[in-house]
Structure 1
Amino acid sequence: MCCIKASRELQENEEIPALMAFGDSILDTGNNNDLISVLKCNFPPYGMDFIGGKPTGRFCDGKVLTDLIAEGLGIKETVPAYLDPNLQSKDLPTGDLYGLGVRKIGVLSTLPLGCLPIIRTLHGGPMRFCGDNANRAAQLFNSKLLAEVNSLNSSLPQAKIVYVDVYNPLLDLIKNPVKSGFRVPERSCCGTGLFEAVILCNQLTPFTCDNVSEFVFWDSAHPSERAYRTMTPPILQDLKKSFS
């Protein structure tokens, strides 16, 4: 994820003028719709809580983290997919890279992968505990990512690159769900909540939950919009503080 630097230094309470996100399905706002892939989500019940209740290619019941960060930074309510054939030229000024003038960049850590419902199902044993090996791998990746961010800050003049921790905020929701008003942290809303994702999470899937707001996960690999919204405030605080 990156944010464009304006022609002058960002002042306190000044809106960040633009945002472009690079990442996987956690950040995707619909680019996957136009790629050759079996991993699609442009069908119900995906998007049931999005604007108009329609699926958009977001791997969620509603908005994803990219939308909520853009919304919280005052850029726009939702982030359009770059590959969307309906994208208009007026939508493009809300994105660019370091060589083109970008100086403020937020780099998000990976999630506690071992606690995704599908990993619990596959590697968590009969009690479906979080997968320790996957979480250790995620922690190792994050430590190396932080080191690389620090290195880039030293080597790129005038750059302000910020490491943003999303591992621990999501892990806290999983370990202490009631504190934030969640009821179900170990399985997802869609279907049985054990392994359904992408094509397996569809409108014909039985047992899909009635109240997704109680679930930390929407499908077995992606958090719900409410989980993202709960995680977003500290992320925005870090970005605004670092970019001011």
Structure 2
Amino acid sequence: MAVFTKFLNCRTTTLMLRLMLLLVLSLRTKGLVNLPPNISIPAVIGFGDSIIDPGNNNKVKTLVKCNFPPYGKDFDGGIPTGRFCNGKIPSDLIVEELGIKKLLPAYLDPNLKPDDLLTGVCFASGASGYDPLTPKIASVISMSEQLEMFKEYVEKLKQIVGLDRTNFILANSFFLVVAGSDDIANTYFVARARQLQYDIPAYTDLMCNSATDFLKELYGLGARRIGVLSAPPIGCVPSQRTLAGGLERECAGDYNYAAKLFNSKLSSKLDSLSELPDSRIVYIDVYNPLMDIIVNYQSYGYEVMDRGCCGTGKLEVSVLCNRLDATCSDASKYVFWDSYHPTEKVYKQLVAQILQNYLSRFF
């Protein structure tokens, strides 16, 4: 009788897991991307900095937060979730376009449910970076700590769906890595914490070596389809124009030189990782598409490109962008939301280009 009862319990558990998977699939959004036949992307999993942090920093003792108005001004219900934007961020838009779900949640979200884990989460932390010193300066979650959280996530997956399904999810999911901006803008140029040790070429070597180590470890943990975003034209964001662009607030040339040098090295490093069996580790250029929007902003339908929507738009970001500051009435007219981060409209244009130009390289 005991054996029969154990058999029934196993059958019941298996049935519940299957029902859970069916429920997850039924809740998927209707994406706009047509995947190749017999190709499945069960989840999206993100690592990096504020570009795709959906609220992990809410749970961290740091000043780098945005879980207050006017952040989230154009998000569902106007709720400030901890996303450094007026609305959705790239990771949200990607899961939506792929038809997986509407938003990619923060791993540290206390309301996270088991079905959220099955379709992906994000470990990114605003102000983190490849340089181990970068997250220390800002007191945020380092890239290595994000990997430790990912290991914990994998164990949770195994408890929910078992080893085989977990391995399938990891091997077929889309991994997104976005970092480097804070290394260049904050650690190197603003804090100047590395300038006595490294010139720009040597510092970008440090960044690339750290990025390569991170990707190798991520691969070793089961990831196979990994998209790695380039650094943006960081010298052209409003805050860097203000800090290093002179009286005319031009793009800061040194910042952009560092970003382009890092991107060149990163692209070469990723090519060398193609030797890893069954891997699809793809360099994704966002420098040039975003620079094109900045230079030709009016042709893209924007009215303002050198100031953010929040406050004066020249320096306000994170705690400096708050309800005490005046906020523009229509963020869609601006390239930047605050002095550092693009608006949701810009993200939508960039994500559309990313999916169109790069998605096929993962299969």
* Equivalent position of 2:104 in the other structure: 79
Matched, 1:163 2:283: yes
Partner of residue 345, structure 2: 226
User: Could you tell me which residue of structure 1 aligns to residue 204 of structure 2?
Assistant: none
| Aligned residue number for residue 67 of structure 2 | 42
Out of 322, 335, 344, the position equivalent to 1:202 is 322
Task: Encode CA deviations 1:31-74: one digit per residue, 9 max, x unaligned.
Answer: 11111101110000000111111000000000011111111122
Cα offsets for 1:102-149 (capped at 9, x unmatched): 221111111110001000001111110000000000011111111111
Distance 1:13 1:217 in 2: 39
Given the alignment of the two structures, is residue 127 of structure 1 paired with residue 152 of structure 2, yes or no?
A: no
Residue identity matched to 1:44: P
Counterpart residue number, 2:202: none
TM-score norm. by structure 2 comes to 0.62
**Residues 183 and 74 (structure 1 numbering): CA distance in 2 closer, same or farther, change over 3 Å?**
same
In 2, Cα distance between equivalents of 1:75 and 1:100: 22
Checking the alignment, whether the CA contact within 8 Å between 1:215 and 1:224 is kept in structure 2 is yes
Secondary structure, in 3 states, of the residue corresponding to 1:21? Answer: strand
- Structure 1 gap segments, 5+ residues each: 1-9
Aligned residue in 1 for 2:294 = 174
Residue equivalent to 1:237: 356
Counterpart residue type for residue 113 of structure 2: Q
**Offset, 1:239:** 3.3
CA gap 1:192/1:104 in 2 versus in 1, 3 angstroms: same
- Aligned letter for 1:178? Q
Is 2:93 the partner of 1:68? yes
1:164-187 deviations in Å (ceiling 9; x for gaps): 111111111100001211111111
Amino acid at match of 2:238: P
For 1:134 and 1:234, locate their aligned partners in 2 and report how far apart those are by CA, in whole Å.
Answer: 24
Q: Structure 2: give runs of 5+ residues left out of the alignment.
A: 1-34, 121-169, 171-217
Alpha-carbon offset, residue 87 of structure 1: 0.9
1:114, 1:120 within 8 Å by CA — same for their partners in 2?
A: yes
Match of 1:189 among 309, 313, 316: 309
For residue 115 of structure 2, the aligned residue among 60, 70, 90 is: 90
Q: Which has the higher contact order (CA 8 A, sep 6+)?
A: 1
Number of residue pairs matched by the alignment = 233
Distance 2:328 2:40 in 1: 38
Secondary structure of 1:43's counterpart equals coil
Partners in 1 of 2:105 and 2:303 — Cα distance? 32
Instruction: Give 1:141's aligned residue.
Output: 262
Letter of the structure 1 residue corresponding to residue 344 of structure 2: E
Say if 1:33 and 1:57, in contact at 8 Å, map to a contact too. yes
Q: In the aligned structure 1, how far is the partner of 2:313 from the partner of 2:221?
A: 44
| Amino acid in the other structure paired with 2:267 | L
Instruction: State the AA in 1 paired with 2:226.
Output: I
Distance in 1 (alpha carbons) for counterparts of 2:249 and 2:99: 40
Structure in which a larger fraction of residues adopt helix: 2
Pair 1:103 & 2:224 matched: yes
Check conservation: 1:16, 1:74, Cα contact below 8 A. Answer: no
Name the structure 2 match of 1:212: 331
Distance 2:264 2:319 in 1: 33
The 1:203–1:217 alpha-carbon spacing in structure 2 relative to 1, beyond 3 Å, is: same
Report the secondary structure of 1:44's partner residue. coil
Compute the displacement of 1:15 (Å). Answer: 4.7
Share of identical aligned residues, percent? 56
Cα distance, 1:216 vs. partner?
0.3
More displaced stretch, 190-199 vs 97-106: 97-106
Q: Distance in 2 between matches of 1:68 and 1:15?
A: 18
C-alpha distance in 2 between matches for 1:239 and 1:75: 18
Q: Tell me if the contact between 1:15 and 1:75 (Cα under 8 Å) persists in the aligned partners.
A: no
Q: What TM-score do you get using the length of structure 1 for normalisation?
A: 0.91
Radius of gyration: which is bigger? Answer: 2
Provide the secondary structure at the position in 2 that maps to 1:56. Answer: coil
